């Protein structure tokens, strides 16, 4: 097991965003947390990364309790976050954006080889390498955000609402990239998404959130067959 979250509680003042959520991510898995907007998905990723304080709960990563660690130490331990809506540095070039992903990292990576691999994985970024990130399309910026997270060779990739604001064709491309990273490169990924159908298609296991609590979990094949999940999250009723 690479990541285990136990009884997570997140609150913003009197508003409780997450209440008693527990889950695990095994090494080499792609696991999804699905749910509607406001279900608490982004709050969970923020708590895992150390940028949102926990009201209660425990986070164990690679056998160590990291609940009290600051975000930069979690990043150095090999956790990376791809935030929603990309959030790249608009005035920096594609290459400069990539380089921010290794800033002050303790782990040494073969940088030239890593950048060459990323440009092979994301050929559109290679074509745009000298352009400011602000000139990229939404889908290209999303690919840049993923590449920036990958440059330091993380153990665990946290991906927040990767489909938000993208055209369907671009959504398909980004999900294909995530599936390829997991299946062919062995990257462990925790994906939180409103796009339940696309998430369940590429994940091995999933957790379903409603108003800050986990209401279902299991193998994605079973969840796709569950009548309630189909009706509420997949837009189809029972056959």
Per-residue pLDDT reduced to its tens digit, 217-235: 999 999 998 888 888 777 6
Q: Are residues 220 and 107 in the same domain?
A: no
- H or E segment and range at residue 63: none
CB 78 within 8 A of CB 69: no
Q: Assign 238 a pLDDT band (cuts: 50, 70, 90).
A: very low
Mean pLDDT, to the nearest integer, of 85-95?
90
**Tens digits of residue pLDDT in 52-63:** 999 999 999 999
Alpha-carbon span 88 to 162, nearest angstrom? 13
pLDDT of residue 128: 96
Evaluate if residue 90 carries a pLDDT over 80: yes
pLDDT of residue 144: 94
* Range of lowest pLDDT (83-87, 88-92, 206-210): 83-87
Q: Is 154 helix (H, G, I), strand (E, B) or coil?
A: coil
Q: Are residues 67 and 162 in the same domain?
A: yes
Alpha-carbon span 182 to 163, nearest angstrom? 17
pLDDT of residue 162: 86
Whether 230 maps to a domain, the answer reads yes
Farthest-apart Cα atoms in the chain, separation: 54
Q: Are residues 176 and 228 in the same domain?
A: yes
Phi-psi region of 30 (alpha: psi -120 to 50; beta: other; left: phi over 0): beta
Alpha-carbon span 226 to 239, nearest angstrom? 11
Q: Are residues 108 and 1 in the same domain?
A: no
Whether 84 maps to a domain, the answer reads no
User: 138-150 and 168-185 are packed helices; what angle lies between their axes, rounded to 10 degrees?
Assistant: 20
Q: Are residues 142 and 29 in the same domain?
A: no
The last residue of one of the domains, among 134, 153, 172, is: 153
Q: For the chain, what is the mean pLDDT?
A: 91
- What percentage of residues in the chain have a pLDDT greater than 70? 95
Domain that holds residue 104: 89-153
The last residue of one of the domains, among 114, 137, 153, is: 153
Q: Are residues 63 and 174 in the same domain?
A: yes
Q: Are residues 66 and 94 in the same domain?
A: no
From the number of C-beta atoms within 10 Å of its C-beta (0-12, 13-18, 19+), residue 195 rates as buried
Q: Are residues 30 and 138 in the same domain?
A: no
pLDDT of residue 239: 41
Whether 115 maps to a domain, the answer reads yes
Mean pLDDT, to the nearest integer, of 167-188?
91
Whether 147 maps to a domain, the answer reads yes
């Amino acid at each position: 097991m690479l990541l285990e979250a136990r009884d997570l509680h997140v609150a913003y003042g009197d508003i409780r965003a997450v209440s008693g959520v527990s889950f695990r991510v095994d090494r080499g898995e792609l696991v999804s947390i699905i749910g509607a907007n406001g279900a608490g998905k982004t709050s969970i990723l923020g708590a895992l990364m150390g940028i949102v304080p926990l009201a209660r709960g425990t986070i164990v990563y690679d056998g160590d309790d990291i609940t009290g660690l600051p975000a930069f130490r979690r990043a150095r331990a090999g956790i990376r976050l791809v935030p929603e809506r990309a959030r790249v540095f608009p005035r920096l070039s594609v290459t400069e954006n990539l380089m921010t992903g290794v800033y002050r990292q303790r782990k040494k990576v073969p940088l030239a080889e890593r950048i060459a691999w990323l440009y092979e994985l994301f050929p559109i970024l290679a074509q745009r390498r000298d352009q400011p990130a602000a000139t990229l399309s939404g889908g290209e910026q999303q690919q840049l955000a993923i590449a920036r997270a990958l440059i330091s060779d993380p153990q665990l990739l946290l991906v927040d609402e990767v489909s938000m604001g993208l055209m369907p064709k671009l959504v398909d491309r980004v999900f294909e990239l995530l599936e390829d990273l997991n299946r062919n490169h062995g990257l462990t990924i925790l994906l939180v998404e409103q796009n339940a159908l696309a998430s369940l298609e590429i994940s091995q296991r999933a957790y379903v959130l409603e108003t800050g609590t986990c209401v279902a979990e299991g193998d994605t094949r079973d969840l796709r067959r569950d009548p309630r999940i189909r009706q509420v999250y997949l837009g189809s009723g029972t056959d």
